[in-house]
Structure 1
Amino acid sequence: MSTDLTAGTPAETADRFPTKIAIVVREDLATWQKLNVTAFLASGIAHASDDIMGKRYEDASANDYLALLREPVLCFAADSAGLARTRARALSRELPTALYTADMFTTGNDDDNRAVVRAVAADDLDLVGVAVHGPRKPVDKVIKGLKLHG
């Protein structure tokens, strides 16, 4: 499947997916933080539905590799206000949403990550990343106005 990165959506093909995955990271993060946040958010999206994962891979030498997400992941950049707007739009549309907050950089494990999120009211979260998955049109409305990362 080809991807038209200038438009931010997969090119029109017979294989076009009915759903979309979008990851939005705060534009002022260090490169290692952007990559870390993107990886964590993608792992959350991998649990959005039972059919989101493709099949395992095998090379010509019969080596087995893990399955990947079945569809492209579009990565966007936003400021704090854009992240807050994205989160609010996604939740208002009841789309599967993952988040990463600045406080999560200070923890060392999953339990503490959940605790620092739980300690802050939704509108006060210091978001550094948000990911969303769902039908194309609602996801397009959630990410409206954002620019592809890069």
Structure 2
Amino acid sequence: MRTEDETSAGAGVETGADCENVPVRFDTKIAVLLRDDLESWQRLNVTAFLVSGLGTTSPEVIGEPYADADDTAYLPMFRQPVLVFEGTRETLTVAHGRALSRSLPRAVFTADLFSTGNDRDNRAAVRAVAKGGLELVGMAVYGPRNAVDKVFKGARMHP
């Protein structure tokens, strides 16, 4: 497993791609912040939903398609690791404000979404609440490493 430093430095693009022994480094970060009181199934579900939005507005986060030795094709995935953090309700609220003030690409998951069953109702549930009143249970952010670090300041790595 790579450490964060092995995957996060660089000049905005992959380096070391031509040399298999050189770690690939990025100056960007994909990170998820989950509220620390979620059940295990909720943490997994929220994380999956949150990261699904990042590639739609930031296509540079998506790598090349995969293929096995038999040439069976597989979908492309993120080109870099996703770091998962946890924090309190207050930590999420502060991080949300920081992400907004930095205009970083972000996705949110609110407590209301646990009681909906489809995308239309999910969007309506978020739309019904002003940003300051959202009961956030998770948030994903993508951007320059230092900006994402500042947004998630006070959060801890998910165990």
- Given that residues 48 and 133 in structure 1 are in contact (C-alpha distance below 8 angstroms), is that contact kept between their aligned partners in structure 2? no
- Give the corresponding residue for 2:121: 112
Alpha-carbon distance in structure 1 between the residues aligned to 2:123 and 2:105: 17
Q: Which residue of 1 aligns with 2:17?
A: none
Q: Does 1:72 align with 2:81?
A: yes
> What do the CA deviations read for 1:96-119 (whole angstroms, capped 9, x no partner)?
010000000111110110101011
Task: Report the TM-score, using the length of structure 2 for normalisation.
Answer: 0.87
Classify the secondary structure of the residue corresponding to 2:93.
helix
Structure 1 runs of 4+ with >3 Å offset: none
TM-score (norm 1): 0.92
Superposition pairs for residues 19-38 of structure 1, below 5 Å? 19-38=28-47
Of all paired residues, the percent bearing the same amino acid is 51
| Counterpart for residue 103 of structure 1 | 112
Aligned length: 145
Q: What is the rounded CA distance, in whole Å, between the counterparts of 1:59 and 1:14 in structure 2?
A: 22
For residues 18 and 140 of structure 1, the distance between their equivalents in structure 2, rounded to whole angstroms, comes to: 12
From 45, 61, 76, give the equivalent of 2:70.
61
Task: For residue 120 of structure 2, give the secondary structure of its aligned residue in structure 1.
Answer: helix
Query: How many Å separate the matches in 2 of 1:108 and 1:120?
Result: 18
Note the aligned Cα RMSD (angstroms): 1.3
The match for 1:148 is 157
Q: Quote the offset at 1:14 in angstroms.
A: 5.4
Distance 1:15 1:63 in 2: 25
**Contact residue 133 and residue 139 of structure 1 kept, 8 A:** yes
Paired letter, 1:98 = A
The structure whose residues are more often helix, as a share, is 2
In the alignment, structure 2 segments of 5+ residues that lack a partner are 10-21
How many Å separate the matches in 2 of 1:91 and 1:56? 32
Structure 2 counterpart SS, 1:71 = coil
| Cα shift readout 1:10-44 (whole Å, capped 9, x = no counterpart) | 33675211210110111111100000000000101
Distance 1:114 1:98 in 2: 12
**Unmatched tracts of structure 1, length 5 or more:** none
Contact 1:23/1:131 (CA < 8 Å) preserved in 2?
yes
CA contact (8 A) 1:78 1:147 kept: yes
Cα 1:61–1:14, aligned 2, differ >3 Å: closer, same or farther?
Answer: closer
The structure number with the bigger radius of gyration is 2
Deviation at 1:48, TM superposition (A): 3.2
Distance in 1 separating the partners of 2:65 and 2:24: 19
1:50 to 49, 59, 65: 59
Residue 130 (str. 1) matches residue 146 (str. 2): no
